Amino acid sequence: MDAETATAVTVAAAEQEALISGSEAVAVASRLADVDVITAYPIRPYDTMMQYVAKQIANGEQDAEYIVAESEHSQFEIAKHASAVGARALCGSSGVGWCYAFEAIAVTPALRLPLLAMVGNRALDDPGAFGTEHNDALAARDLGWMHVWVDTAQEALDVTLIAYRVAEDRRVFLPCAISTDGAFLTHSQALVKIPPRAWVDEFLPRYDRGDLRFHPDNPITIAPQVNEDWLMEIRRQTDQAMRNARGVLEEAYRDFRRIFNRDYGNPFFEEYYTDDAEIVLVGMGTLSMPVKVVIRKLRAEGQRVGFVRVRWFRPFDYERLGGLLSRFQAVGVVDRDFSMGSPYNSGVLANEIRATLYGQPKQPPVVSFITGLGGREVTIPNVREMFEHTRKAAETGASPRDTLWIGVRA
Amino acid sequence: MDSPELATMPLPVLEPIKGVKKAPLEEYFTSGHRTCQGCESALVMKLMIKAAGPRTVVLGSTGCMYVANTTYYSTPWVVPWMHTQLGSSGSAAVGTAAGYRALMRKGKIKKEPINVISFCGDIGGADMGLSAISAALQHVDYNHLILLYDNESAANTDIQATGSTPYGAVTTFSPTGPAKRIFHTRWKKNTAAMLAAGHPECRYVATVCASYAVDFMNRVRRALTIGGPTFIHSFDPCPKGWDYDPMLSHELGELAVLTGIWPLFEVEDHTLRLYGKSKAIAEGRQKRLPVRDYLLKQGRFAHFTEDDIDYFQAKIDDMWTQWLIPGVLPFAAEVLNDTPPA
Ligand SMILES: Cc1ncc(C[n+]2csc(CCOP(=O)(O)OP(=O)(O)O)c2C)c(N)n1
Ligand code: SF4
Ligand SMILES: [Mg+2]
């Protein structure tokens, strides 16, 4: 197949529709955002995004420096340095590739470089596995990256544009990772609305590094040795940037709604049948698909069940999420990841939710589940089982003292 | 989309410096650093940026030239300077040059020559960062210079052995003791020639020594004006790591060249030239001094026996008499001195 026949997406004066995958949606967004420097390294499943970018460039539809790095470490370092000179940059990875880049990932937030990275979530193999697990992206959760989990190809496209706008806002200047579940989202196609360039231009201003730009006209020294004299102040500034991101995100989603005519409601989490729900499951990413199917079935049987899908994991909207979750009789948290030896032996999200509820006057029981590791499908019976456990906790009013592994051989 | 005119980035005009009195007076690496007395690498920084001039940005990977140079609230750099990670000098050069190229091509910033220099130490560049440098030398669209300042140890972390530490030298990871006289048994990597041989599209690779300051600055100028990615490997005596009197830095640089241990050469568009005293050695106009004169001035070789010195000498002799390209490429018709003394 030559590059020309491969491009499915037209950007036109009016909104178009195209059948594309989650990875391709990020690639199309990078073209709409006129990204300047894109660095690639092969690893499944995120690399489908980079393949699509390459096609767009080969076809003359996108104009960017496209650099195939010799390792993920270099891939992220090259993008980081491009960002420092004021170029809009994109990279990404999956699984162990993300880990290979970890040094660059760790230093980018304090440099205040608004780099975007797509994570095609993947198990950290050995043992060999291509499928979704969230431990790759979550390994970087504490470092100052903004982090969002998307659910559909449309959301992948939209959030890429939103993420650039928020990351490049001077009040924020932080890198952002966009997590897409491997295979379930990276490789499955859906109809996606492709906005016209003019809307994107109105929404997304040019990246302006101002007096932090690395250029001969602006002689500054970046990242000197600060040691105990100054490091703490710099950490505090990075922390403030992440706090600022909350408000900047709200602004961006508001503007997005106005210009693109698509409403995500609360940017931080999605609610599904929560209004009158007694119990809910909480999770991230494409888990929402089987959970929503089961909710519709259970509701038909008269059960008041709902779902909360956490979108923005960093910054985490603990205030509103805590307020919402404390209303229910029990909360089941579904982790597609693990945190071995952690409190309750649970996954990462479950302990975030426990911490979120701690500040609430009323604390429903929390049941933590680990499921769907290594890309294993989370089935309808799996979801029913999780709702049953959560229901039981609501009846007894007690949180189990341990985490339940669902859909695992004994 | 890329018309050739749009795609080519403008290159700076930097004429060769004809003698030390013609060198620019302006300094762009000034006070504000705290390198050791006699630190040759600090001089390397100063000459490098003097040669490159003010329309330059410098990236530096972790090591002495980061930690001892840029302690917050002071910086010796008059030009923009940015730290990069220990193994990232290649990637820093590529990312910076690619950023400028994209912005200039798209008309987002003024199109003008900007020198991008990325430096690294020996463990940062020749060991950890080797693959990134190799990749950087393949991306011919980007103009930049990677300068490796080789003080033959991981100096910043307290003088540890690296792939560029000479055979037998004492470091904190290769002490000498009754059970092991020679701890570090690796022969120094031949980094510049390896990179030149392995990256035929790279238009300029050179070795330099700051004891020959004008030659040094002109190699930097050539690297910056020729276009594409380029590489310079600088030999930097380090009084702390090599254990000698700081006043001898300059002399040790000269001795390394005169003993033939550090050959000065450049590969420009596939043409190899030995230069300076190394050329004289190759042409028989300069007799190589015995390596003993160099080794015994340094505490790191104080434990050497006569056998060790002979072995070292024999290896250097091979380099000049047996190698297919003397001083540069170690291919030879037969196996040479491969057994170190017991
Ligand atoms: C990834 C990583 N590993 C280890 C270190 C610790 N470290 C800091 S400086 C340094 C030595 C650098 O040696 P070299 O590149 O030769 O430069 P020099 O200090 O000799 O100037 C090391 C190992 C680091 N900064 N980063
Ligand atoms: S240890 Fe060596 S390289 Fe480092 S500052 Fe001192 S003399 Fe220079
Ligand atoms: Mg060193």
- B314 alpha carbon, distance to own chain's centre: 24
Which helix (H) or strand (E) segment holds residue A48: the answer is helix A47-58
- Tell me: do A175 and A199 sit in the same domain: yes
Q: How far is B31 from chain A (nearest CA, A)?
A: 14
- Tell me: do A227 and A293 sit in the same domain: no
Instruction: Give chain A's residues under pLDDT 50.
Output: 1-3, 5
Quote the pTM value.
0.97
| Residue A9 pLDDT | 85
**First CA to last CA across chain A, in angstroms?**
46
Kindly report the CATH number assigned to the domain that includes residue A192: 3.40.50.970
Using a CB–CB cutoff of 8 Å, tell me whether B57 touches chain A.
Answer: yes
Each residue's pLDDT tens digit, B70-83: 999 889 999 999 99
| Residue A10 pLDDT | 84
Residue B285 has pLDDT above 80, yes or no: yes
C-alpha of residue B173 to centroid of ligand 1, in Å: 14
Last residue of a domain, one of A260, A277, A301: A260
For residues A266 and B177, what is the distance between their CA atoms, to the nearest angstrom?
68
Phi, psi at B211, each rounded to 5°:
-60, -25
In the stretch 245-274 of chain B, residues with CB closer than 8 A to chain A read: none
- Which residue segment(s) compose the domain that A243 sits in? 12-260
Residue B112 has pLDDT above 50, yes or no: yes
Peptide bond into B330 cis (omega under 30): no
Using a CB–CB cutoff of 8 Å, tell me whether B140 touches chain A.
Answer: no
Q: Do A74 and B75 touch (CB under 8 A)?
A: no
Each residue's pLDDT tens digit, B158-215: 999 999 999 999 999 999 999 999 999 999 999 999 999 999 999 999 999 999 999 9
* B248 C-beta closer than 6 A to ligand 2: no
CA nearest A79 in B: which residue?
A: B95
| Residue A7 pLDDT | 61
For residues A405 and A389, what is the distance between their CA atoms, to the nearest angstrom?
12
Q: Are strands A116-121 and A176-181 parallel, antiparallel or unpaired?
A: parallel
- Tell me: do A203 and A300 sit in the same domain: no
Substitution target from A65, A66, A226 for chain B, most B beta carbons within 10 A: A65
State both tokens at B161: 């052995």
What's the number of CA atoms in the CB half-sphere (13 Å) around residue B319? 21
* B154 C-beta closer than 6 A to ligand 1: yes
How many folded domains does chain A comprise?
2
- Tell me: do A129 and A16 sit in the same domain: yes
| Residue B2 pLDDT | 47
* B65 C-beta closer than 6 A to ligand 2: no
Does a structural domain hold residue A164?
Answer: yes
Give the dihedral of Cα atoms A139, A141, A145, A146; nearest 10 deg.
130
Q: Where residue B341 falls among pLDDT bands split at 50, 70, 90?
A: confident
Last residue of a domain, one of A243, A260, A277: A260
Each residue's pLDDT tens digit, B236-246: 999 999 999 99
For residues A255 and A234, what is the distance between their CA atoms, to the nearest angstrom?
31
* B121 C-beta closer than 6 A to ligand 1: yes
State both tokens at A51: 């393949």
Does a structural domain hold residue A3?
Answer: no
Which member of B83, B102, B114 has the closest CB to residue A36? B102
Using a CB–CB cutoff of 8 Å, tell me whether B54 touches chain A.
Answer: yes
**Which atom of ligand 2 is found nearest the CA of B156?**
4
Q: Where residue B339 falls among pLDDT bands split at 50, 70, 90?
A: confident
- Tell me: do A157 and A298 sit in the same domain: no
Q: Please report the domains of chain B, with CATH numbers, ordered by start residue.
A: 6-337 (3.40.50.970)
